[in-house]
Structure 1
Amino acid sequence: MVCGGFTCSKNALCSLNVVYMLVGLLLIGVAAWGKGFGLVSSIHIIGGVIAVGVFLLLIAIVGLIGAIHHHQVMLFFYMVILFIVFLFQFGVSCSCLAMNRGQQEALLSSTWNVLDNKTKTGLEVQLDCCGLLNMTISHAQFEQEFQYCPASCKKGPNCSTCGEMMLYHATEALKILGGVGLFFSFTEILGVWLAVRYRNQKDPRANPSAFL
């Protein structure tokens, strides 16, 4: 049986979905581990990571069942959803790779504003910093944030803002994030191609006169 045959396409699609299932379980496990050890205090961040993991796990299960049973409807919905995910992830990955410092500051500022106080104080203690970027807010607001900052660095003369510390590694982090996202987006388009190819193949063990 050549690699382009029915069995090879089935095995390749099953293997790809098993990898997606492992990645989904890994995301759920990492989120639970981070919450259990207190590394991430925000329930919104934990819920978002778990939601992504569950979504990926469900899509992988649909693709795996469709591949095993050669189910036309399940394979159709699988490849449509996976193609939509590919478009979204490809766009986000390219945006991460193309983002400059000004855009990073604007994104960081908007994200900081929607965080709850518990998450902000947790970041300040963990990174030993106070506030975000004093250039993005008024002087009075920055003084208020600095006053209630729980970090130990505010007792000293040189206490960095959290934004400066985050932006210090932001470019490298965005390149890694964009590169990893771009890599996985191409695995998703591979899954779409395998699903389309597999749907149009006939099972050699089935009735040759059956319509598929």
Structure 2
Amino acid sequence: MKLLTFLIGPRFFELFLHGKETEQVIARKDDQLLQHSTIELERYFDKPPQQLPRQNAFSLAWVLLLFILTFALNLLTLLHVLPSLSPPARAAAFFLPSIVFIISNLTASYLISRGFNSGLTIYSLVYNGLFVATILQLINVALSWDTRHVILMLISLAFILSCRSLINGGSFIVFVLYCRTQRITSIARSLRLKSRNT
């Protein structure tokens, strides 16, 4: 746990644990969920979307962009050290993993914006995977004295460390908590209505 907290950052890790607890409360759908919401809060989030204040999702967009750039640099470096492939095979080896990676990250971003902790789980896996891959490839190209790819991997490391800074930043955390609160109040409101009608 301490290693994971160190790798991904303490604030993101706390946000993830809070989301895990929230998911357990939501899954039970009992009176305990109502303790995490108030009628005033539910009325506030019951307004039409255009009447609610716009949330700053730029941090989410930046994280997504930096993930994609880090992934692309790692994949290009990996393809360089692999045995020579035919042009179609090389194109497939680049574009197929890239498409899967982009779709999974877009899905994670969508889940985060809907208040689901599974989005943070995907972000955590992506971040840790890219960080480890970048460090390993940096060591590999440094040992082979490949200056050009050392520079690329240092840029990749700068990108992934920037991601760490963003996902532990106030803007990202406030956005996630806002979306999470919106989801909780929506479910709590439906529970209150159900209990009134029974």
By percentage of residues, which structure has more helix? 2
Pick the structure with greater CA Rg. Answer: 1
Question: TM-score interval w.r.t. the shorter chain?
Answer: 0.3 to 0.5
Q: TM-score, normalised by structure 2?
A: 0.40
Q: TM-score, normalised by structure 1?
A: 0.38
